[in-house]
Structure 1
Amino acid sequence: MVSYFTIDATGEVANFQKEISNMMHGFGDNPNPNAATVVLVESIVLQQLRSILQEASINSNLRGSKVISNYDIIYLMRKNILKLKRLHDYQLKIDHIEKSRTVSSPSENVISNIMFDDEKDPTIKKRRTHIDIIRELDEYEEVCQIKFDVIDYLRKVRAAKITESMSYEKYEAYHKARCSSFRSGYGLGKGFVKIEQWINPTKELKITLLALEVLCFIAYETVAEVVDAVFLIRQDAKKKYGDPFSKFEGGHFCNPVSLNNSVYIKSGYEGVPAITVAEVREVLRRYFNPRIGMNGLFYRNMCLDLPVRFITL
C-alpha cells in the first residue's frame, strides 16, 4: 500500500487522517475506523486532488492565466450536473454562514495578507463565485431544474437509522464527526492553510482561495462516495443466487422501493463493522474497471491509454 506524506516548510507532516476518520464515522462507518483503511482513503483523496490540480493547471494555461481559479476546477465538473447542484447548494450554505458571522462579529472578518482572485490575477476583473460559474457553464439550465438532492437524502436516512438507538454520549460524538471537513474554519483563509500544504507543499502552483474551497468540497465528496460504494458492495455480497430478495433480509432496509440501495445498513450503530482495506480496493476496482463491449468479452479501446477518471467528478 502506497502512503502519501506531505511535509510543510516547518518540517511537520501534513495529513488529514483524523478528519477522514471522523468523516467515515459520520457517513456510517464504525466509531473506530480501521487505521489502515483511513490511510488508504487519505492517499486516494490526495491522489485525486493532485490529479485534478494538474488538469486545472492545463485549463488555466489555456486561458493565459498563471493562477488556478475556481473556474478551472468547476469546469472539470461541468458534465456532472448533480455534483454542480450540490456545489451550488454548498455555496449557498457557506454564504449564509459568512453572513451570519459578519452580522454577529464584523471585526473578526478583517484579516490581513489575504489576496483574492482579482488581486492575484489581473486578468480577472470580477471575483466570480461558484454560483456565477455554475450558471455560466449550465447552458441548458439543468442545475436549476434539480429540485431534490437524492444523495443528501439517502445519507440523511442512513444517519437517521444509525442514531435510532444511540445514547446521548454516542450521539454527541457522532454529531461532531458529522461536522468534520477539510477546512478548519469558516473565516476567510482560515481553513485553507492545511489543505494547501497537503496538496501543494512546494508552492509550485498558485491556487486562489475560492479554488481551495472547491477542492475541500471535492475531497469531502470523495470520502463520502467511497463509503457509499462500500455499503453497496456489502449489499451485493449478501445476495444469494436464485433469491432476488435475499439482500433485503435481516432488517437492513427501511423501504427498498423509495430509498434505493444506498441506505443498506443495520439499525443501531454497534452493528456496523469497520470498513476494511479490501472493501475500499474493491470499490476502486469496480470504478476504474474498463467498460466492456456489447459481447461482454473485449473492450474496443483496451489498447489505448485510459483517460483520467475522478471518483467525484
Structure 2
Amino acid sequence: MTTENFRTLAVRTLGSAKVGPGHPVFITGEIGINHNGELKNAFDLIDVAAEAGCNAVKFQKRTPEVCTPRDQWDVERDTPWGRMTYIDYRHRVEFDADDYRAIDEHCRQRGIDWFASPWDVESVDFLEQFDVPAHKVASASLTDDELLRRLRATGRTVILSTGMSTPRQIRHAVEVLGSDNIVLLHATSTYPARNTELNLRMIHTLQREFPNVPIGYSGHETGLQTTLAAVALGATFVERHITLDRALWGSDQAASVEPQGLQRLVRDIRAIEESLGDGVKRVYEGELAAMRKLRRVQGEGTVEAEDGVRELVSAS
C-alpha cells in the first residue's frame, strides 16, 4: 500500500471536522473537572475555548461508586466546600443529565463540539444519550478492556491517550478497540510534565507503528512551546487542559492553559500548519524579484505552475 493510501486511511470524522494528515489540526480544550462542579465555570470555559477557535471541549465522566476505591470512600479531605468524605467530593464535581443537557445546548449555541472521557461502562451509557462526536479513553483507562469493548460497540470515533503505558499495552488496547476508528494520542501522565519526560519523538514512533491511525498529542506540561513542537512533528490532534485561572483549587489547574494562553496556542498552531507546506520545492512569486536582483548566474529556468508559483525545471 502506498504512503498516499495510508494518509487517506489515517483520517477520522469528529463532528463536522476531519482529523488526520492533510486536514487542519483538531484542537480540544480539556475542561475535565476544572469546572469544580459549577455549571457557570463550565459555560465560561466553553466560551473561552470557542473564542480561541478550538474545535471542541472535553469533560470527564465518572460513576463515583465504581471509580473510587471502596477504602477511600470515607476518607475525609478539605475542599472549597468544607471538609467532606472523598466519595461525597467525587459526587460534588460530577454533572448530572440535566447539567449535560445544558452544556450540550450551550455548545450548540457557541458552535463548538463537546465530548468526554468516560471512566467506566455506566458512564459510556450515560454519554450515549447525547450525540457526541467521539469518546475519549483517558491514559489511566487504557488497560480497562471492558471499557474499551463497550466504547468500540458504540461505533463512535474513540480517542486513546497513551500516558503511563508500555508499547505492549498500547498495542493490546489498539487491538481491542480496532484500528479503523481510533485516534491515538502521545501523552505523558505527569501533572505538570517536565520537558525531559515529554519525549515528543514518540509521535514519529506511533506514526510508524500505526500508519493507518491519526496520531495526536495530549499535553500536560506548562507553557506552549512543546505543544507547538508536537504540531511541527506531525500531531494532527491536540488536547490541552484549560482553566479560568491556574491558581484555582483542583489537581489539574496548574498544568492547564489560561484564556490568553489558549488564544496564543490556537493562533500559533494555525500558523505552524500553514507554514509546513507539502515538501515540494518551488520558487514562489515573492522570490522572483530577489532572484532577478541577486542571482548572477541563473543556472536553472522556471516554469509557471498551476497553483501560481514557479517550479524548478532543468535548463537543458
TM-score by length of 1: 0.24
Tell me which structure has the larger Cα radius of gyration.
Answer: 2
TM-score by length of 2: 0.24
Structure with more contact order per residue of length (Cα contacts < 8 Å, sep ≥ 6): 1
Considering fraction of residues, name the structure with more helix.
1
Considering fraction of residues, name the structure with more strand.
2
